[in-house]
A and B are shown apart, each in its own frame.
Chain A
Amino acid sequence: AQTVTQSQPEMSVQEAETVTLSCTYDTSENNYYLFWYKQPPSRQMILVIRQEAYKQQNATENRFSVNFQKAAKSFSLKISDSQLGDTAMYFCAFMNRRDDKIIFGKGTRLHILP
């Protein structure tokens, strides 16, 4: 069975700093997606970034980038120049291509401090 582990329940950083959220996963699959989702306080969950396992290049979306280490089964999220609006719960998630089901980590609550 696949598992997703986020080892940091809560983090705080100052505005404009760079922060890295950790995620590891366990699977015997070879064809899968990894995601980072963001859930702002009292707001809808949205996708931040997606990585396909067969792609070696790390995904990037503006200030958000990932460090995907397939052999180590690690998928960390880096937020550069953090902004107050980045304050949210962040979920790392795994999906194998066979059944479209997503397995979520327990989340990291990130606070961006002014």
Chain B
Amino acid sequence: DVKVTQSSRYLVKRTGEKVFLECVQDMDHENMFWYRQDPGLGLRLIYFSYDVKMKEKGDIPEGYSVSREKKERFSLILESASTNQTSMYLCASSFGAPSGTSEQFFGPGTRLTVL
């Protein structure tokens, strides 16, 4: 079974803190994604990566950065957390074309609260 894990289920941080959210997948997937999920807004793509050291901006990258130093790990960084970044953060991974079926596998999510 594909497994995508995230470092924390719940996280509470203070405004201005630097926050690291870690995601690890064990299926040798090329693609990895970070989303935020907010009520009434669905899932919105923050950043994604097609390969090690590669990153692409999604729809809402402002206030975030990412790092992918190893294929299995994709980190989301909030350089200076703000209250409007309080949200559920979901990580996902998938095989890249043409080898995969394009299904994304999701982690359990990290519920981040910024005070």
Contact = CB atoms under 8 A, between A and B. Distances in A.
A100 B102 contact: yes
Contact of B106 (A33, A46, A50, A107): A46
Provide the main secondary structure of the chain B interface: loop
Contacts, number: 42
Interface in A67-114: 91, 95, 97, 100-102, 104-107
Interface string A1-43: 0000000010000000000000000000000010101000001
Contact of A47 (B33, B50, B58, B103): B103
What interface size band does chain B fall in? Answer: 20 to 34
Contact of A91 (B31, B42, B50): B42
B43 A104 contact: yes
B12 interface: no
Contact of A106 (B42, B58, B92): B42
Given A44-B108, A45-B90, A97-B97, A104 B42 contact: yes
Contacts of A104: 42-43
Nearest to B31: A100
B101 interface: yes
A27 B94 CA distance: 22
Contacts of A46: 106
A35 B43 contact: no
B90 A50 contact: no
9 A-B pairs with least C-beta separation:
A45-B106, A106-B42, A104-B43, A104-B42, A44-B108, A47-B103, A107-B42, A33-B102, A100-B31
A51 to B, nearest CB: 12
Contact of B48 (A43, A44, A101): A101
B50 to A, nearest CB: 8
Contacts of A43: 108
Interface string B95-113: 0110001111011110000
